[in-house]
């Protein structure tokens, strides 16, 4: 069985940042009660006793909501209880649905030795195997970037964001991943709003896009994040 894990990106202070290994055929995520202890415990009151299950089946990992009180989201969409959904590397799972968001965000990741099943093809889902970007050059030693052969005047956060996107070129980077990479000093990543990320993306586009109003280099993937193309 291939190994996977989840990280808690948003939740109660005692949960945020925790990493849990998924190494069983069935892993139940929920809230501990005197009568029941789930495989993975989360402390938020929005989490049900048996909230959701991650199932390892062959080369795939599947997700199902176990009839939770407050619901589950997968990559921004609410899922139906009892129905199986395929998980992919960097899938975002929300527990405790509240409007268009969720109280708790956990991110599913597969280990570096595990391939991700996409349709009929398996593709390695490793960060760091970036696609070539002809229009961009970054000198990490000098902390400088050039766009189309011209030096780009970037703020520290703009540079950090561009460097992170470049290191993952061709792959979608979620807002949570961007926050972790660009604001590592933040003690509470949840305090960095989506609007803050989007504003930084907008400012960076103004400096790297030939037509900022029609971005073709920093591409939005609605419900997932951004990708450098």
pLDDT of residue 107: 92
DSSP single-letter state for residue 130: P
3-state secondary structure (DSSP) of residue 159:
helix
Tell me if the pTM is above 0.85: no
CA atoms within 13 A on the CB side of 149: 0
Taking a C-beta distance cutoff of 8 angstroms, is the pair 92, 105 a contact? Answer: yes
Q: How confident is the model at residue 129 (pLDDT cuts 50, 70, 90)?
A: low
Taking a C-beta distance cutoff of 8 angstroms, is the pair 9, 16 a contact? Answer: yes
Is the predicted pLDDT of residue 164 greater than 80, yes or no?
yes
pLDDT of residue 207: 95
Taking a C-beta distance cutoff of 8 angstroms, is the pair 72, 93 a contact? Answer: yes
**CA end-to-end span of the chain, whole Å?**
34
134-158 as b/e, with b when 16 or more CB fall inside 10 Å? eebebeeeeeebebeeeebebeeeb
Task: Give pLDDT tens digits for 90-125.
Answer: 899 999 998 888 999 999 987 643 333 333 333 333
Q: Are strands 144-147 and 136-139 parallel, antiparallel or unpaired?
A: antiparallel
Average pLDDT, the chain: 85
pLDDT of residue 2: 53
Task: Give pLDDT tens digits for 24-62.
Answer: 899 999 999 999 999 999 999 999 999 999 999 888 899
Closest CA to 40 of 6, 14, 74: 6
Q: How confident is the model at residue 206 (pLDDT cuts 50, 70, 90)?
A: very high
């Amino acid at each position: 069985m291939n190994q996977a894990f989840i990280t808690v990106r948003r939740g109660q202070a005692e949960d945020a940042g925790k990493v849990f290994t998924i190494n069983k055929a069935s892993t139940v995520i929920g809230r501990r009660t005197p009568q029941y202890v789930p495989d993975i415990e989360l402390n938020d009151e929005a989490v049900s006793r048996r909230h959701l299950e991650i199932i390892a089946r062959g080369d795939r990992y599947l997700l199902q909501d176990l009839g939770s009180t407050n619901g589950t989201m997968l990559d921004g969409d609410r899922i139906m209880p009892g129905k199986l959904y395929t998980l992919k590397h960097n899938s975002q799972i929300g527990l405790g649905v509240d409007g268009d968001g969720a109280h708790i965000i956990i991110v599913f990741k597969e280990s570096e030795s595990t391939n991700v099943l996409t349709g009929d093809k398996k593709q390695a889902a490793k960060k760091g195997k970036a696609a070539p970007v002809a229009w961009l050059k970054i000198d990490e030693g000098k902390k400088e970037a050039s766009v189309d052969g011209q030096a780009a005047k970037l703020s520290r956060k703009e540079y950090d964001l561009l460097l992170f996107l470049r290191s993952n070129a061709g792959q979608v980077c979620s807002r949570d991943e961007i926050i972790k990479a660009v604001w590592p000093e933040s003690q509470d990543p949840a305090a960095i709003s989506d609007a803050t990320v989007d504003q930084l993306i907008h400012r960076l586009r103004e400096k790297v896009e030939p037509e900022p109003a029609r971005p073709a280099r920093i591409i939005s993937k609605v419900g997932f994040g951004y990708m450098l193309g």
